[in-house]
Amino acid sequence: MAALVSSAILSLRLLMLTGLLMAPIGAVAYTKAAGLGVGKHGAGLVLFVTLQRQAMS
């Protein structure tokens, strides 16, 4: 019985760790697939160009 409880706790910890590591990747993938986020027109374009120029200097 103790081995079963220990195994269940270990599995739960592994599941939580995997969820914490995969959640940001899943959120980015969902945003890209759904077409959400800052577009490259209007203020989004200005922000994109500004950040690119700062990265180059």
Location of structure tokens 């990747």? 25
- Predicted confidence at residue 41, as pLDDT, reads 65
As a 3-state breakdown, the chain gives helix, strand, coil percent values, each rounded to 5, of: 80, 0, 20
Location of structure tokens 């989004």? 44
What is the residue extent of each domain of the chain? 2-56
List, for residues 27-42, the tens digit of each pLDDT value.
888 877 766 555 666 7
- Walking along the chain (57 residues) 10 residues at a time, the average pLDDT comes out as 93 95 88 67 80 86
Nearest to 27 by CA among 36, 17, 18: 36
